[in-house]
Amino acid sequence: MSNTERRLGASTAGGPSRLTTWHQELFATVGRWRWLEALNDSVSGVVQPLYDRYRDNLAVELMHGGRWAGHALHPALSDLPIGLWSGAVVLDALGKDVAIGGSRMDPAGTLSAAGLMAAAATVATGVTDWSVSDGEDRRVGLFHGVLNVAGVTLQGASLAARLAGHRSSARVLSVTSLGVTAAAGYVGGHLVQGRAVMVNRVAGFSGPNRWVRAIPETDLPEDTLTGVEVEGRQVLLHRSDGELHALDNTCSHAGGLLSRGDVTGCAVTCPLHGSRFDLRDGHILRGPAHHPQPVLPTRVRNGWIEVRGSQPQSRRATT
């Protein structure tokens, strides 16, 4: 048995291998970098006031994806520069130009330029989404952004070298840019898949599948919010004009408790990042949330407010 096999066997028997935990250790280390924390404070000091000032602007909603797209635009847009710059590297490897109108054209340079234009939209949406992150997510997200900016800068240098006729330098810069951008993509994948950034936090919530007592009716005054836990599910209760409303108390954007937010009329604002929902039907009034809040049926019975989640599949429950 080789030394490698012994190490792998020992790690399997005694605990996780470094081969399966290195990425966790990497991002934990990134989150502790002092220079990144200092940079985060500096960038936040510039970006955050601008975001807060214009957050009600339709353009900001659109950059988030908002109520219309149903998910963030940034991950989808990021595929464009990666794909275009990958094509440029392949065409560089083939080493062929294209004849158009009697002149020679560098197709790799065309893809490089198109990727730079796509990167502008990708960076803009990324900064917008980053503005509504916190803690470690914010620091790692900034690292993701730093890598992306480095990739864009290298690609811009590559295009400039092409235009100046330095094809060899352009190719080296193009490959380097793609490598840095791929690393940024890996960090972005960690944020979405590992940290659940900008995903629907209430997608799997369904219970209880029967009527369950939440609170006595007298404990819910008019035009107030109350958060309760019902069989492990966080539920937001509200009464307005004699009507009861019940939503998931966990914000679909980043998991904030809506019961700690402000209520105006029949609208509640999440205390974390300002997403606003209609208490009557859960629809989004303002992003950055992409998914509405699930609504739970309510009723008053024997002096208690009762709620229910998903209905049984076999028959429809009655009130």
**Which tens digits make up the pLDDT trace of 199-255?**
888 888 888 889 999 999 989 988 888 999 998 899 999 998 888 999 999 999 988
Structure tokens at 71: 């998910």
- pLDDT at residue 315 in the model: 39
* Average pLDDT along the chain: 86
Q: Please say if the pLDDT value at position 131 is more than 70.
A: yes
In the chain, list all ranges with CATH 2.102.10.10.
212-307
Across 72-81, 103-112, 178-187, 252-261, least confident range: 103-112
* Order of all β-strands in the sheet with 298-301: 212-216, 304-307, 298-301
Rounded (10°) angle between helices 18-30 and 3-14: 70
* Helix residue spans in the chain (DSSP H): 3-14, 18-30, 34-54, 58-64, 66-69, 74-94, 107-130, 135-163, 167-189
Q: Please say if the pLDDT value at position 117 is more than 90.
A: yes
- pLDDT at residue 207 in the model: 83
CA distances from 17 to 2, 26, 29, 189 (A): 16, 14, 18, 21
Percent of the chain with pLDDT over 70: 89
Q: Please say if the pLDDT value at position 100 is more than 50.
A: no
- pLDDT at residue 104 in the model: 54
Across 125-150, average pLDDT: 93
Confidence of residue 296 (pLDDT cuts 50, 70, 90): very high
Query: Which three-class secondary structure state does DSSP give residue 236?
Result: strand
Structure tokens at 204: 């799997």
What is the CATH number assigned to the segment(s) 212-307?
2.102.10.10
Confidence of residue 316 (pLDDT cuts 50, 70, 90): very low
Bridge partners, 234 (sequence order): 229
Q: What is the pLDDT of residues 34-55, one digit of tens each?
A: 999 999 999 999 999 999 999 8
Q: DSSP letter for 176, please.
A: H
Q: Is residue 269 within 8 Å of 276, Cβ to Cβ?
A: yes
- pLDDT at residue 150 in the model: 97
Beta-carbon contacts of 54 under 8 Å, excluding residues fewer than 6 positions away, are 60
Q: Please say if the pLDDT value at position 5 is more than 70.
A: no
Of the spans 57-71, 103-117, 150-164, 251-265, which averages the highest pLDDT? 150-164
What size, in residues, is the chain? 319
Confidence of residue 96 (pLDDT cuts 50, 70, 90): low
Percent of the chain with pLDDT over 90: 56
